[in-house]
Chain A
Amino acid sequence: MTRYRSTDLVALALLGAGFVAILLAPTDGLQGVLQRLMYAHVPAAWLAYLAFALTLIASIGWLRTRHDRWDHLAVGAVEVGVFFTGLALVLGSVWGKPVWGVWWTWDARLVTTALLFLVYSGYLALRRGIDDPRVRADRAAVLGIVAFVQVPIVHFSVVWWRTLHQPPTVLRPGDPTMDHTMLAVLLLNVVAYSAVFVTLLRRRMDLARGERALEQGRLAPDAPVAGDAVVAPLPEGGERG
């Protein structure tokens, strides 16, 4: 039976509050209700950055210490990060069709985000192809470090290239260039999505621990099991077969 933690319920409550705030937020003068997608799109993109930064830290942690918890954190963060990157791409595409007139365009932000999604999907595929836990963790950690180079490229793509995608409005020096009520709703949703992120990450790390224990059992089938040294008493005058 699934056990629910208090953090799960907090995440659910925050998500509900965030959704209500989206409905109550002022409607954008130009884009209308479509702009409300931004309250989910932006937190998803930010949390993807956070997930891949955690992967970088966990990968370095694994290579330095070889503690399993770092590897569990890395795989958990990548899976959750790939989910949030995919969510940001899908929501952006749904918004793009009515506003830009196309589902997809060759814009630097879009292309670099899609590449980010592919690289970390490759990370997950690589892990699935290696049976030895230590080799898998080593190679995944190397990729987790190299792949992070894409994150600053995605973030600064709107600054380095002329793009259709708008430049940063909040993660920039100076006052955010958006209405402060909208900003408050956005920040509430960032908190709500972060709570969901933490919940998913903890669940995935629990799962990774379970998978690791299962692998250890499978890789050492001949190791003595608990109680192996205890033998049944022989009957009077009997012989052990």
Chain B
Amino acid sequence: MSGGQVAALVRAELRLETRTGDVLRGVAPYAVAALVVLALSVDADTRLLRQIGLGAGGAVLLLFGAQSAARRGLLDTDAVRTLCAVSGVAPGTVLLARVVTTAAMLFALTAVVVPVTVVLFDLTPVGGWWLAATTVLALVGLATLTALAATLVAATSVRAVVAPLLVVPLSVPLLLAVIQIPATVTYGSTPLSWLLLAALVDLVLVTSAVTLAPWLEGVR
């Protein structure tokens, strides 16, 4: 696995994203619209809004983040995949490039969703570094899962439907880990177990991705 190859592939993918804006100009506005509709649906009950805010924000991030698996990137084109294969780029390198690209897009989407959620649902940050660390781990896990799903549905006719169907159910432990942190801190417990849950899910996903990459990329 070569760091230079990963960096080159990620750069090319992100350059394509800045041109097409599939995630930031396509998915992000819908995510914001979904948050507005969710906030509207519970009327002007601020107490209830505060109660459901973190969960609603997490769910929107998960659902719309999963959409990035359905995005048609550079690594989804037959020409680039063939070029990678004949140039000797290892399958693990291609998959890692997908993970890093997806993680970058998810962090950007998070940067849009979090402030909007805080404003609309009147949230006060609880959990501090625990919440931040678990969120980062959850985003890495979600990026790995999304990259795996994107590879599974690459060049298929059902990518837009099937990719989120694969990502959302398997990412529920990550969502749970994040939204349980404030409640655990509020009741005076240490949220270490939730942080470890996110780390464990990441470990399982990364191990699966590295082990199964050759079959996913059709090299074996």
Measuring CB to CB, which residues of chain A are less than 8 angstroms from any residue of chain B? Answer: 63, 111, 115-116, 118-119, 121-122, 125-126, 128-130, 135, 138-139, 141-143, 145-147, 149-150
Would you call B148 an interface residue if the criterion is a C-beta within 8 Å of the partner chain's C-beta atoms?
Answer: yes
Would you call B83 an interface residue if the criterion is a C-beta within 8 Å of the partner chain's C-beta atoms?
Answer: no
Residues A129 and B153 in contact, CB atoms below 8 Å apart = yes
Chain B positions 113-169 with a Cβ under 8 Å from a chain A Cβ: 148, 151-153, 156-159, 161-162, 165-166, 168-169
Measuring CB to CB, which residues of chain B are less than 8 angstroms from any residue of chain A? Answer: 148, 151-153, 156-159, 161-162, 165-166, 168-170, 172, 204, 208, 212, 215-216, 218, 220
Measured between alpha carbons, how far is A182 from B13 in the docked complex, in Å?
A: 61
Residues A147 and B152 in contact, CB atoms below 8 Å apart = no
Residues A142 and B216 in contact, CB atoms below 8 Å apart = yes
Measured between alpha carbons, how far is A149 from B161 in the docked complex, in Å?
A: 22
Residues B208 and A143 in contact, CB atoms below 8 Å apart = no
Measured between alpha carbons, how far is A102 from B189 in the docked complex, in Å?
A: 31
Least CB distance from B78 to A in Å reads 12
Residues B215 and A141 in contact, CB atoms below 8 Å apart = yes
Measured between alpha carbons, how far is A135 from B78 in the docked complex, in Å?
A: 14
- What secondary structure prevails in chain B residues at the interface with A? helix
The chain A residue with its CB closest to the CB of B211 is A145
The chain B residue with its CB closest to the CB of A129 is B158
- What secondary structure prevails in chain A residues at the interface with B? helix
Give every chain B residue within 8 A of A125 (Cβ-Cβ).
Answer: 158, 161-162, 165
Give every chain B residue within 8 A of A139 (Cβ-Cβ).
Answer: 151-152, 216
Q: A122-B165, A142-B152 are in contact. Are A129 and B159 (CB under 8 A)?
A: yes
Give every chain B residue within 8 A of A145 (Cβ-Cβ).
Answer: 208, 212
Give every chain B residue within 8 A of A142 (Cβ-Cβ).
Answer: 148, 152, 212, 215-216
Measured between alpha carbons, how far is A89 from B172 in the docked complex, in Å?
A: 19
The 10 residue pairs across chains A and B that have the minimum distance between CB atoms:
A129-B158, A129-B156, A122-B165, A115-B169, A118-B169, A122-B166, A125-B162, A142-B212, A119-B169, A139-B152
Residues B204 and A143 in contact, CB atoms below 8 Å apart = no
Q: A118-B169, A119-B169, A121-B165 are in contact. Are A126 and B152 (CB under 8 A)?
A: yes
Give every chain B residue within 8 A of A150 (Cβ-Cβ).
Answer: 169-170
Interface residue from B156, B212, B215, B220 paired with A126 (Cβ < 8 Å): B156
Least CB distance from A160 to B in Å reads 10
Measured between alpha carbons, how far is A142 from B219 in the docked complex, in Å?
A: 14
